[in-house]
């Protein structure tokens, strides 16, 4: 079967490809390239690594754009600083990580087993198992192959042990340095380098009462890339239970307007009886953190917690290369601000799901998303194109999939997005079925989609309602899964022209 192309190679792309084809904004060429990794792949969601400023992508290639502050995002070697890197926002992207762990700064060893002497240390899952002057540290168990080591096979996982508290470190519940390795040292590092979450020093956990005041036990995930039997690499998605800051938690929400004045709807990922899901929680605004539309990230001029967003969603930071902008959660386009200003340009916004957790599996049906407001080309009308799946002029009808966890129904919004850019001022020229460059920064297809055929080559496509909507010998697949679910009634599907 023909598969859609998310502009990055990966095992989960087919189900997310349409999200990854979200509208390209009229930014600089460099930004466009990075933006193309947004709603489609996630690197290590709450895994470990990166800096507290955005959302992660499933592949290292997209570890550079938006981060949701507070995910353990991960680099081999150490659970490095509060987790972020990933591109998102306007054109394909979509991965990220917010409800997860976060801000880790570099100690916990994820490249191998617990450090030497671990056999004499106490295994743990939370701090209550350790002595008063110790904490439970996150360690990878050292398994070298995706399918496991030995007979019977020991699978990739955690081998956490109690470690002694370090001197001159932030303790549980205190503010901690959210971005390790930068020049800002206004805050101390967390005593547990793996659990500086959104600027608060927390801990590993199994339930809420093991967490500092103002935090709850939530879920995160680390992606460990390992060789597979028979060749090639794969990713072991390893869940992590960690205390997540939710100060003044006042109940569930989908957007800021659901909360009392001055409060913020913050995304949170958690375990359920049969897997994982995400939801918004109304939290008390934290002093110093930034609001929607304000600058955020490593490159921002602020220090300490001022580099973070109260929503935990900092977009277009691109791995510390750009100053990001804070965005918010949503359930529909109507929940989003009219514009977000980034790089001096006011961009219209839409609501889209951000892949934040793989639920510990390679299956796409149980993936967890965070609906958040993203920017699109500043010339876009964002007119509703649900009934026609077509737009006027050089705009194309684009599908924005919005979802949380597999326990809730996903939906799709159809909006007109402009395809002209500064480097393509006259707009796309290619008709349906024409060959197209899957890796081009600008969309050359009039229908707004360049998909990969069974031969791996790109062809131009568009959204559709029926067979006669497609040209170039293509046929309309009216139930293509943007976000598949085991319960088909909860999936996000659309019609698209395929070979």
Distance CA 254, CA 265 (A): 7
How many other CB atoms sit within 10 Å of the CB of residue 456? 10
Name residue 342's beta-bridge partners. 345
How many other CB atoms sit within 10 Å of the CB of residue 343? 13
The two tokens of residue 494 are: 């659309």
Task: Count, in order, helices (H) and strands (E) of the chain.
Answer: 2, 25
Rounded to two decimals, what is the model's pTM?
0.79
The DSSP symbol for 183 reads S
Cis peptide preceding 217, ω within 30 of 0: no
Name residue 417's beta-bridge partners. 396
First to last CA, the chain: 8
List % helix, strand, coil for the chain (3-state, nearest 5).
Answer: 10, 35, 60
pLDDT of the chain, 499 residues: tens digit per residue: 332 222 222 233 223 223 222 222 222 222 222 222 222 222 222 222 222 222 222 222 222 223 333 333 222 222 222 222 222 222 222 223 333 322 223 334 454 444 444 458 999 999 999 999 999 999 999 999 999 999 999 999 999 999 999 889 999 999 999 988 888 999 999 999 999 999 999 999 999 999 999 999 999 999 999 999 889 999 999 999 999 999 999 999 999 999 999 999 999 999 998 899 999 999 999 999 999 999 999 999 999 999 999 999 999 998 889 999 999 999 999 999 999 999 999 999 999 999 999 999 999 999 999 999 999 999 999 999 999 999 999 999 999 999 999 999 999 999 999 999 999 999 999 999 999 999 999 999 999 999 999 999 999 999 999 988 999 999 999 999 999 999 999 999 999 999 9
For residue 296, what are the CA distances in angstroms to 27, 103, 292, 384, 427? 18, 15, 10, 31, 32
For residue 474, what are the CA distances in angstroms to 48, 215, 389? 43, 52, 16
């Amino acid at each position: 079967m023909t598969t859609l192309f998310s502009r990055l190679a990966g095992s989960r792309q087919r189900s997310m490809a349409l999200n990854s084809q979200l509208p390209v904004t009229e930014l600089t060429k460099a930004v466009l390239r990075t933006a193309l990794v947004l709603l489609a792949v996630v690197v290590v969601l709450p895994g470990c690594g990166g800096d507290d400023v955005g959302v992660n992508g499933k592949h290292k290639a997209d570890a550079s754009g938006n981060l949701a502050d507070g995910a353990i995002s991960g680099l081999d070697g150490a659970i490095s600083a509060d987790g972020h890197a990933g591109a998102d926002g306007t054109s394909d992207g979509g991965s990220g990580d917010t409800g997860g762990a976060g801000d880790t700064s570099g100690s916990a060893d994820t490249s191998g087993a617990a450090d030497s002497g671990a056999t004499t240390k106490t295994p743990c899952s939370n701090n209550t198992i350790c002595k008063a002057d110790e904490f439970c540290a996150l360690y990878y168990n050292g398994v070298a192959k995706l399918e496991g080591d030995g007979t019977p096979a020991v699978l990739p996982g955690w081998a956490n042990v109690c470690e002694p508290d370090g001197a001159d470190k932030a303790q549980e519940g205190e503010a901690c340095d959210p971005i390790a390795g930068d020049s800002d040292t206004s805050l101390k590092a967390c005593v547990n380098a793996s659990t500086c979450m959104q600027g608060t020093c927390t801990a590993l956990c199994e339930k809420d009462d093991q967490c500092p005041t103002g935090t709850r036990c939530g879920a995160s995930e680390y992606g460990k890339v390992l060789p597979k039997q028979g060749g090639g690499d794969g990713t072991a998605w390893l869940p992590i239970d960690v205390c997540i800051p939710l100060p003044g938690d006042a109940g569930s929400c989908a957007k800021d307007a659901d909360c009392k004045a001055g409060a913020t709807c913050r995304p949170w990922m958690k375990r359920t009886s049969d897997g994982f899901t995400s939801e918004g929680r109304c939290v008390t605004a934290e002093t110093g953190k930034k609001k929607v539309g304000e600058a955020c990230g490593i490159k921002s001029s602020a220090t300490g917690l001022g580099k973070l967003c109260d929503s935990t969603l900092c977009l277009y930071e691109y791995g510390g290369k750009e100053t990001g902008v804070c965005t918010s959660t949503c359930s529909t386009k109507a929940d989003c601000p009219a514009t977000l200003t980034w790089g001096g340009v006011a961009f219209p916004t839409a609501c889209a799901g951000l892949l934040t957790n793989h639920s510990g599996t390679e299956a796409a049906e149980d993936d967890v998303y965070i609906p958040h407001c993203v920017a699109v080309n500043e010339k876009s009308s964002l007119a509703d194109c649900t009934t026609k799946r077509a737009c006027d002029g050089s705009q194309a009808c684009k599908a924005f999939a919005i979802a949380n966890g597999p326990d809730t129904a996903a939906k799709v919004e159809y909006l007109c997005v402009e395809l002209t850019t500064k480097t393509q001022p006259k707009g796309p020229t290619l008709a349906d079925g024409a060959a197209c460059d899957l890796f081009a920064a600008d969309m050359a297809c009039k229908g707004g989609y360049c998909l990969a055929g069974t031969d791996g080559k790109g062809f131009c496509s568009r959204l559709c309602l029926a067979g006669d909507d497609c040209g170039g010998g293509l046929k309309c697949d009216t139930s293509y899964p943007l976000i598949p679910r085991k319960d088909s009634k909860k999936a996000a599907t659309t019609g698209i022209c395929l070979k």
